[in-house]
Structure 1
Amino acid sequence: MQVAVTWAFFNAQWQEVNTRLSEGLAGDIAWVVETYQSDPSPPALTKLTNEAERSLGLSVKLYEGRTLPTGNRASLISPGDRALKAALSDRLDQPFWFDSTRYPADLDIRVQVTAGVLRVIAPRDRAMTTKSNIFILWMTGATVLLTGVAILFIRNQVRSIERLADAADAFGRGGDVPQFKPHGAREVRKAAQAFIAMKERIQRHIDQRTALLASVSHDLRTPLTRLKLEAALAEPSKRVDAIKRDLSEMEHMIDEYLAFARGQGGEAVEETSLRELIEVVADGAERGGASLSLEIEPDLIAKLRPNVFKRALSNLIMNAAAHGEEVVVAARARSGGGVEITVDDDGPGIPPDRYEEAFKPFNRLDEARNQNEKGVGLGLAIARDVVRGLGGDLTLDRSPLGGLRAIIRLPG
């Protein structure tokens, strides 16, 4: 924009200056022609030549019997040529011809007179300004230089913001960036320091919660174990069997509550082979009585917490097996990057308008799916929490088998 404005301004000024200079030179040439025609004798011509050289800086010579050239040589400085041509046309009644390209510092102007051609060699700066282009070049060079400096400065600041964004994204996925340090402008460093302080507060909160839950788990399991022991030592009866079933359900509920509250725990994110992980989960599900088939593309790698993700995927597979007879687990690479894992079943499914409701903690959707007596409605909530903690998402859809499809999308 600066170059365009500068060029527009100086182009207009340059044209104006060239017009004024050309008019002055054309007036001098018209005086030379008129003076010669008033007295074309040799002594008068000699006097005119000396006077023009001394007072006007013009070199004048008469070529008797000649005519004007017929061809014109193109000039790169067309605005100056146009101004000179207009000025000469306005001041001269005789035919004329000029060349602004033959000599670097002079103009060759020829006028047809009765005796032949009157040739005038005039300094170029008498008709055209020659310094404006240099100023424009300097202005352009300075603009390019300053633009380069600005780009380098902005890229340096943007790089600092990108590092901060990468650190925030890694922390949001449960990872850590120990080498991250504030860089860049004062405002960017201040934001980075605020992020580090926030990260430390959140980490302290997670550590405190994990320690508290470990203590609660121990405190709850101790009396539960005593009750189970007393039930095992009691005389067999229907009441004792009912007590054992209640204790087993209570233990399962406590496990699910603690798993939900514990969230992703302290496990680190690492690159994991999905085929191996899914096969391990499928083997465990089959030992638990599930019947399923696998469709996994080879060489699929994802960044995740293996143990936590196993539990989330196991929840989805066992949930599908509990409500359907046929379960298909598939994993494939996504076209835009990342991987997609689907768990399909041929059960009764869930109405589409209740997909999001199914992810609410402690929501069991009894009227849509057969009730799992041991479940407390945390399986899908835990699975989505784990997947979103890895930067992906878990959604539900209609399965080609007629039941429910759970779709896990993980970033690359």
Structure 2
Amino acid sequence: MRLRAKLYIPRQIKRWLPTSLFGRSLLIIVLPVAVMQIAVTWAFFDAHWQTVNSKLSEGLAGDIAWAVASYQDDPSPEAVVKLAARAEESLALSIAFQKGKKLPTGRRTSLLPALDRSLQDALADRLIAPFWFDTTRYTAYIDIRVQVEGGVLQIYALRDRAFATQGHIFILWMVMATLLLTAVAILFIRNQVRAIERLADAADAFGRGGDIDFKPHGAREVRQAAMAFLAMKARIQRHIEQRTALLASVSHDLRTPLTRLKLEVALAEPCERMDAMKGDLSEMEHMIDEYLAFARGEGGETPQTVDLTDLIGGVVAAAVRTGAAVEAEIAPDLVVELRPNAFRRALANLIDNAAAHGEHVRVSVAARITGGVEILVDDDGPGIPEDRYEDAFKPFNRLDESRNQNEKGVGLGLAIARDMARGLGGDLVLERSPMGGLRAVMRLPG
């Protein structure tokens, strides 16, 4: 038995992880590089730069200790002038004596406190007298002051005498290398993810019944998935074509004897039995129409951009002509892409279903805040228990124990309507209606 190890990631961390393939792939590549760069930089600072800075600071502290000791041996003005000239020539130190001055009480902190600490430690080891220094006031110099008898000995030293000033170049190269690697990773990952996105778009377009022009490209595994999708698409289209041809033949074979029966009944003498036979034939024709509509699905109809105002208005008017009490509230200028014939059939099924179980039906249409449109069909009938909403979408399920039986229906109206809505990327759900009965909510994308 094969055991698979599963990496446990806390939920708090998962919340911040990217969810897209592009983001995760980029994280997989960039995160190790960034961690490595940080580790190398830390090792450089800790093992090399700090050591170099400590040695440089100790050397500068030794020169300053010599200058202070020389001043203390002979604090005369003539000796101070000679000391300053000798320090300037031999040690590149600028020395000045400030008579009667005191050391400053405050000091600004450097951006790299570790550098100040190395100089602080070095001066504390070499000097007994109080001292003060500032590494932030001048870009190329360090201001160091030592409290001596009679005043302050101010010394200016070049910054590179205490610190390795080229360390920032190393950091800059590390940052530039990280950015370059990240840019290259983004380009390559973007190309691979784009192939997957195109495959997903093609699958979504095919699922909605649209025409697709898609060629496999990208990595070998992505091309294999694309070739498998195209083969599946060809098999499904072949199946649909065969089923369409079969349904056309079945429809012709069923309707021919049905038409003859209707003709014979129409020519027969009127009687009570003939009226019952006409009702049976009408019911049979309606059942055949619903069976074929359900089996045909969307029938290969191409989606079109239509104005819902006229389309829904026509369906509502047709329902009113049959005697249904339907009122409509339709917002103007609602343009969506759908299959007009399939939509008419689906909406007519919803209205007929509502009219069969209620006395009043209301159809309202409005744009959704998140995009698309929402079509509501309400009735004042007995409704359906909430735990049976999903059962109502099952084909041939009429929920006779919950709602009045529809003598003409076969339990396919809601199934056909949901298939149409989902085929367009939307959905159809049931809710409790404010009118007291059932509300069918059809959501369509914009």
Coarse TM-score class (shorter-chain normalised): 0.7 to 0.9
Query: What percent identity do the matched residue pairs reach?
Result: 68
- Using the TM superposition, give the Cα deviation of residue 322 of structure 1 relative to its aligned residue in structure 2, in angstroms: 2.1
One-letter amino acid of the structure 2 residue matched with residue 325 of structure 1: E
Structure 1 residue aligned with 2:128: 93
Q: CA RMSD in A?
A: 3.5
One-letter amino acid of the structure 2 residue matched with residue 390 of structure 1: L
One-letter amino acid of the structure 2 residue matched with residue 388 of structure 1: R
2:340 aligned to which of 301, 306, 323? 306
Larger radius of gyration: 1
Which secondary structure state, in structure 1, belongs to the residue aligned with residue 206 of structure 2?
helix
Pairing 1:206-217 to 2, within 5 Å after superposition: 206-217=240-251
Distance 1:44 1:370, change over 3 A: closer
Structure 2 residue aligned with 1:12: 46
Query: Does 2:208 align with 1:173?
Result: yes
- Please say which of residues 387-396 and 78-87 is displaced more in the overlay: 78-87
- Using the TM superposition, give the Cα deviation of residue 205 of structure 1 relative to its aligned residue in structure 2, in angstroms: 1.3
Cα distance in 1, alignment partners of residues 183 and 354 from structure 2:
59
Distance 1:334 1:38, change over 3 A: closer
CA contact (8 A) 2:129 2:146 kept: yes
Distance 1:153 1:357, change over 3 A: same
- Please say which of residues 330-339 and 256-265 is displaced more in the overlay: 330-339
Structure 1: runs of 5+ lacking an equivalent: none
- Please say which of residues 76-85 and 167-176 is displaced more in the overlay: 76-85
- Using the TM superposition, give the Cα deviation of residue 164 of structure 1 relative to its aligned residue in structure 2, in angstroms: 2.2
Which secondary structure state, in structure 2, belongs to the residue aligned with residue 331 of structure 1?
strand
Distance 1:79 1:288, change over 3 A: same
Structure 2 residue aligned with 1:369: 403
Distance 1:112 1:362, change over 3 A: closer
1:152 aligned to which of 187, 202, 209? 187
Cα distance in 1, alignment partners of residues 70 and 149 from structure 2:
13
One-letter amino acid of the structure 2 residue matched with residue 309 of structure 1: F
Cα distance in 1, alignment partners of residues 242 and 301 from structure 2:
16
Cα distance in 2, alignment partners of residues 278 and 397 from structure 1:
21
CA contact (8 A) 1:58 1:123 kept: no
- Using the TM superposition, give the Cα deviation of residue 311 of structure 1 relative to its aligned residue in structure 2, in angstroms: 0.8
Q: How many residues align?
A: 409
- Using the TM superposition, give the Cα deviation of residue 115 of structure 1 relative to its aligned residue in structure 2, in angstroms: 9.6
- Using the TM superposition, give the Cα deviation of residue 151 of structure 1 relative to its aligned residue in structure 2, in angstroms: 2.5
Cα distance in 2, alignment partners of residues 283 and 104 from structure 1:
85
CA contact (8 A) 1:21 1:126 kept: yes
CA contact (8 A) 1:49 1:59 kept: no
- Using the TM superposition, give the Cα deviation of residue 261 of structure 1 relative to its aligned residue in structure 2, in angstroms: 0.5
- Using the TM superposition, give the Cα deviation of residue 267 of structure 1 relative to its aligned residue in structure 2, in angstroms: 0.7
1:324 aligned to which of 333, 358, 361? 358
Q: Scaled by the length of structure 2, what TM-score is found?
A: 0.79
Pairing 1:23-102 to 2, within 5 Å after superposition: 23-31=58-66, 57-59=90-92, 66=99, 70-71=103-104, 78-96=113-131
Distance 1:76 1:359, change over 3 A: closer
Which secondary structure state, in structure 1, belongs to the residue aligned with residue 168 of structure 2?
helix
Structure 1 residue aligned with 2:426: 392
Cα distance in 2, alignment partners of residues 191 and 126 from structure 1:
64
Structure 2: runs of 5+ lacking an equivalent: 1-33
Deviations 1:22-48 (A, max 9, x none): 223323544565577679999999999
Structure 1 residue aligned with 2:175: 140
Structure 2 residue aligned with 1:280: 314
- Please say which of residues 293-302 and 101-110 is displaced more in the overlay: 101-110
Which secondary structure state, in structure 2, belongs to the residue aligned with residue 141 of structure 1?
helix
Which secondary structure state, in structure 1, belongs to the residue aligned with residue 250 of structure 2?
helix
Structure 1 residue aligned with 2:56: 21
Q: Scaled by the length of structure 1, what TM-score is found?
A: 0.84
Which secondary structure state, in structure 1, belongs to the residue aligned with residue 407 of structure 2?
coil
Distance 1:249 1:27, change over 3 A: same
